[in-house]
Amino acid sequence: MRLIALRKEKNLTQEELVEKSHVSVRTIQRIESGEVMPRLSTVKILWEALGETFEETSTKSNQVMETKKMPLPNANRMTVLIAALAGAVYLVCQIVLATLDIAWFTNGGNWEFTMNAIYIGLTAVMVIAYAFFAWGFIALSNVFENTLLKSVAYMLILATAALGVLDVTSLSLSVEDLKTLWLPYSMAAVLFGTLSIVFGIALIRLQDSMGELSRVAGVLEIVMGCFLITVVLFFISYVIMIPAVVVEILVLYRGYEYLSRTDTAQV
């Protein structure tokens, strides 16, 4: 949105804009996230607080729209919606796979071929679902120019695929032989912990556009990442993962709604 871009051009935070305009921070957040259509009087107040008149800004916006369409095609909108649905599939797969891991350890690593096939199939679905899930954040990063979010999403896709391969490989080992994989899994925990913290920071940066949900998702990712890095407390991260992914799905759906409103406004 033009308001976000202009505020950032002036190097102002939302709180500083509140002080200049005397418009509540909640109102500014809702306007920037696309939740509400502001009254003309509110828009004029905000523009004047940013050092521009409403008439000049309207003229500039019209000129830009005539020369270049905003890059928010339906493809982006549908990508984000599919990503939200894929996030739900990913979460279910993770919960089922965690349950199967516990069952595998309980049985001493002795599984029939059928159970191995089910585990491998679920792992493949989980990796694919996560790729679509993360792609939704890549789409949002393109819209809101969040380079950090795009970079870490790509890295998480690759890391998730690598972990899936490691999990499937471990099925051929006995519980005793898993000791040889202690180092690879410890390194994986540190890697995912680091990426989760960076991903959380990127989500928090998205809060100006996506609102409070993005900040909550970011905080949960950072907390989850901190537990993963410890390695010995990695199991706590699985508990935090559930609400984290749920909130991230809601962030994606809010992004879908925002893109839908923007597409409608451009028609």
pLDDT interval class at 110 (50, 70, 90): low
Q: Do 241 and 224 contact (CB within 8 A), yes or no?
A: yes
* pLDDT at res. 56: 53
Pairwise CA distance, residues 233 & 193, whole Å: 11
**Of 219, 218, 167, whose CA–CA distance to 188 is shortest?**
167
Kindly tell me if the per-residue pLDDT of 168 is higher than 60: yes
Most confident of 9-13, 56-60, 185-189: 185-189
Q: Mean pLDDT over residues 35-53, rounded?
A: 71
Q: Mean pLDDT over residues 85-93, rounded?
A: 97
Q: Do 260 and 78 contact (CB within 8 A), yes or no?
A: no
Contacts of 169 (CB under 8 A, 6+ apart): none
Pairwise CA distance, residues 215 & 208, whole Å: 9
Pairwise CA distance, residues 39 & 51, whole Å: 19
Q: CA-based diameter of the chain, in Å?
A: 73
More confident residue, 1 or 173: 173
**Of 54, 27, 52, whose CA–CA distance to 41 is shortest?**
54
More confident residue, 16 or 194: 194
pLDDT interval class at 197 (50, 70, 90): very high
Pick the CATH number of 2-67 from 3.40.640.10, 3.90.230.10, 1.10.260.40, 1.10.1040.50: 1.10.260.40
Q: Mean pLDDT over residues 7-35, rounded?
A: 76
